[in-house]
Each structure stands twice: as C-alpha cells, then as structure tokens.
Structure 1
Amino acid sequence: MIELTGVHKSFGTLEVLRGIDLTVRPGTVTVILGPSGSGKSTLLRCVNHLEKVDRGLVRVDGELIGYRRSGNRLHELSERQILRQRARIGFVFQNFNLFPHLTAVENVAEAPISALRKPRIETYERAHALLARVGLADKADAYPRQLSGGQQQRVAIARALALEPRLILFDEPTSALDPELVGEVLDVLRDLATAGTTMIVVTHEIGFAREAADTVIFMDEGRIVEQGPPAQVLDHPRHDRTQAFLSKVLI
C-alpha cells in the first residue's frame, strides 16, 4: 500500500530524513520508535505531503503523492489535487486539532460534507456511528472544552475515519494525554488494528507496539536503523543503537 523510495528531507542545513526506503503492506500496523529528533514525525508528514520531500518518491496504492510524472520530470500537483489525495489518508495529530466551536459530531461530519460533498443526513448518521465505535456515543453534542484529553483524541480518530481513508497516520497520539487517559486511546487503536486498518503509528508506547504491531521500526538521526517483527526488534535488537534506546524506555 505504501512505498517510500530514497526519501530525503532537510530544513535549512538540518538533514532530517536521510534516504528512507520503506514498504507497508495493506491491513498492517507499523509502529515507529526512536528518540526525539530522529525524523519520525517528519516521515509521517511526508507520506501525505504535509512536508515536501527534497528527493525521493512516496506512493500510496501505486499513486505518486504530491506529484505527477511527465516523462522524466516530476511536477507538483495543484493544491486541490493534493487535498484530494490527503482526504484518502487519515492523520491523527498529537494535540487533537478539533474545531472548538463545533460539537463532537459536527467535528466528525465537517470534512465529509465540506471536502467530499457527502449528503448531510447520511454523514451525520455515520458520524454518530463512528463516535459510538470509539466509545463516545453519549458525547455527540459535547464541545471539545467539555471533553477530557482522551475523549478529544478519540473524537479526532473518529474524524479521521469519517473520510474512509486508505490508511491512517498517527503522530504520537497519546503524548499530550495524562497517563491515566492513555489506555482509552490505545484501546481504540487496538480495535482498529484488529479490524485490519492500515496504520503507521509514531509512539513511545512499547506495550502497544508489542501487542498490535506487525512491524516495528526504530529510527535514529533520520535513518531507519532496524525494522522487523516486534519480537525481534523489541526483545532481540540487532543494532547497538536500538539496544541502547530500548534499555532506557523498557525500565
């Protein structure tokens, strides 16, 4: 489903991604681990062209993301075309990014109505169903300020699902939550994984990686240092840098 080939990304003189090659199969969960500054979030943002790659290619379902090929040259797509691609790639951020003036159900229904021109009644029915799926059927009419952080993040997940994406990218979805609220969000992610949703999850939640991931990737200094099944990467890492990182987070 997802293929990154030779992806490089720099911000000024800082090289953040240094030649990323990655393939993600449909219906699988890929968890990306690594220290702060290793390029994890930038990698996610390149997948849906929130960040333009400097070199390399990103494909989803065989379709180039952000560009079209004309002969041997690449031309960036129009903003409208890029937005159409992004509508098929869900993205859940660290800090929820809900519209504060909209209720939970309105937040979930907004994008399908405004971006995809979906029928209003049908969309609201689906929005209610998605809120029920993430355990928030009784919070449909609540505003973000009336919800806990965990509840807001679950609304954000329902909002991502509302566009019926081909895959969902999660950028440290529990990092802004109080510790006691982390579990309710991870439960939703586990349910999505069980249902066969294609996901790439940047997280420090090792337990989730061990339980739900098909592939665990460890990144450092803009490179993929190690990748493989959870049992291999987490329990028997081959690279010294992976071992050193895990020795600190598995205390």
Structure 2
Amino acid sequence: MRAGTTRPTAGGGTSRPLLRVRGLHKRFGAQTVLDGVDLDVGEGEVTVLLGPSGSGKSTLLRCLNHLERPDAGFVELGGEIVGYGYEHGKLRELSARAVTGQRARVGMVFQQFNLFPHLTAVENIVEAPIAVHRTPRAEAVARAAELLDSVGLAGREGAYPRELSGGQQQRVAIARALAMSPRLMLFDEPTSALDPERVGEVLAVMKDLARSGMTMIVVTHEVGFAREVADTLVFLDGGRVVESGPPAELLTGARHERARAFLAAVL
C-alpha cells in the first residue's frame, strides 16, 4: 500500500459494506492493469464484472484476497484490511500465515478447476478445512457430502477428477470453496473452460448460491446470468471502472461508449 492513498478505517459498522475497495492500483512492469479502482459490495449482494479482455477483471479478483499485492490503495473485508495490519500505529504487510487466515474468508473459483487429480471429490473438499480450520476429519467428510449434494453431485464422493465431466469438476471446485464457510465468493469466468452443454449446470449452482444470500463477485460473459442474478454490473476498461449500475439500467442504457460497444457485441 503506497503512502498517501486514502486511509482505511479500523473496525466495522453496520452501515459499512462487506467489501470496500479504494484507489486500487496494480502494475506489471510498465503496464498499468488497475488504475484507481473503487468498489463497494454489500452483504448478500451479487456483483458482476464485465469488460473486454485485458480490462483488469481477473487481476482485481486476485487483489481482493491478496493473491496479487496492490501497488496502491486498499481492500477492506468486513472492516479488516486485507493483507495489512496496524503495528505501532503504522500499516504493515501481514505475514504469509496471517494472509492465509484472511483468505479463508474468501472462496475463489477459477477458470480451470485446479482439483488435485490424485484425490477424490471428497478428499479435494476436506483438505483445506482440516489443514486450516483443524476441522475433525469425520465432521469435514460429512460436510463435504452435504456440499456435494447441494451442487447436484450426491453419490460422487469417491470419484476422481478424471472420472468427472468439466461441469462436474467445476461444481466440486465450488463445493471445495464453500467448505471453508467464506463470507465472500469470487468467480473468475467459471464457465469459460466448459463445453457449452455443461455451462448451464454450473450457472444453476451459482444462481442457487445467490438466492441463498451468498455475497458474490463474478467475472463472466454470461450476460443472461448477469441480468437474472446480479444486483450490480460493473464495467471495467483499461483498468478503470467506467460505469456501474443495476442490470436493467446498464444493459439497456449504458452511457459510456466503450460499455455500449462491448454490450452490443455480447448481447
């Protein structure tokens, strides 16, 4: 976090959004990928990030749980600054162990499923709760079975990734993220690697999560999903938020020229 950026506040109040992002910058070499992003997401809200390739959507997600270290600005989740803490009145980067503890509150589902190929579906799900939360194995296995049932995979507890379709593997990945009881779920184009006939089964699980009140930030080009589920659409271009609003407004009456051109291409 660069000196001189907007100072985060300590503690959380009832009126504070679950997630606050202020002045977020990220560069890779000479390339500016995020250029002063501000974002608020309330508890139980679904925010969909739209924009062309290279607009900074995936990098923004990775900054939210400190997989990427911002060059400036801050991310605050539940009133706690992600990746940093105050020591003797000064803001300092947390240890890797402390950051890992913070990440346990944020579930992330990637484009690729990232399942361990040598572990069964249940074993993929229980590993993190046992290792991070010290959950007793029997309890973790029972919870994993419940989660597999909730994503439509009851009875596949013993299946290895190679025995599952892409859509089924992605649903296991969602169950694995939910096993940590996150406050926030991040989805980075979760259907982009799927065959078209498998896309619907993953989106159905995500819709169920949204209806259950899970706070979600989703990067996707599935505009139908965004129209049905999102509370807010955020359009990024060149690493900046250029427009945001409810789906009914943004999809039919975008004001920014880049947003209108992008939506005309995908709708």
TM-score grouping bracket, smaller chain normalisation: over 0.9
C-alpha RMSD over aligned residues = 0.8
Match status 1:43 vs 2:60: yes
Q: Partner residue of 1:12?
A: 29
Deviations 1:104-153 (CA, angstroms, capped at 9, x unpaired): 01111111011111011111000000000000012111000000000000
Give the counterpart of 1:69 among 86, 89, 107: 86
Q: Partner residue of 1:149?
A: 166
What TM-score do you get using the length of structure 1 for normalisation?
A: 0.98
Match status 1:30 vs 2:47: yes
Deviations 1:139-193 (CA, angstroms, capped at 9, x unpaired): 1110000000000000000000000001100000001101110000000000000
Match status 1:121 vs 2:138: yes
Match status 1:175 vs 2:195: no
Give the counterpart of 1:132 among 140, 144, 149: 149
Match status 1:233 vs 2:250: yes
How far apart are residue 69 of structure 1 and its match?
2.4
Unaligned runs of 5+ in 2: 1-17
Letter in 2 for 1:129: E
Q: Partner residue of 1:199?
A: 216
Distance between the aligned counterparts of 1:232 and 1:71, measured in 2?
Answer: 46
Match status 1:3 vs 2:20: yes
Deviations 1:42-61 (CA, angstroms, capped at 9, x unpaired): 00000000000000010000
Distance between the aligned counterparts of 1:211 and 1:222, measured in 2?
Answer: 26
What TM-score do you get using the length of structure 2 for normalisation?
A: 0.92
How far apart are residue 70 of structure 1 and its match?
3.6
Unaligned runs of 5+ in 1: none
Deviations 1:204-239 (CA, angstroms, capped at 9, x unpaired): 000000000000011001000110000011111111
Give the counterpart of 1:111 among 108, 124, 128: 128
Give the counterpart of 2:77 among 42, 56, 60: 60
Q: Partner residue of 1:165?
A: 182
For the residue of structure 2 that corresponds to 1:138, the secondary structure is coil
Distance between the aligned counterparts of 1:50 and 1:72, measured in 2?
Answer: 25
Letter in 2 for 1:209: A
Match status 1:78 vs 2:100: no
Q: 1:74 to 1:249 in 2, by over 3 A?
A: same
For the residue of structure 2 that corresponds to 1:80, the secondary structure is helix
Distance between the aligned counterparts of 1:243 and 1:172, measured in 2?
Answer: 21
Distance between the aligned counterparts of 1:52 and 1:69, measured in 2?
Answer: 17
Deviations 1:62-107 (CA, angstroms, capped at 9, x unpaired): 1000011246632110000000000111000110100111000111
Distance between the aligned counterparts of 1:94 and 1:142, measured in 2?
Answer: 21
Match status 1:214 vs 2:231: yes
For the residue of structure 1 that corresponds to 2:155, the secondary structure is helix
Distance between the aligned counterparts of 1:72 and 1:176, measured in 2?
Answer: 46
Give the length in aligned residue pairs. Answer: 250
For the residue of structure 1 that corresponds to 2:146, the secondary structure is helix
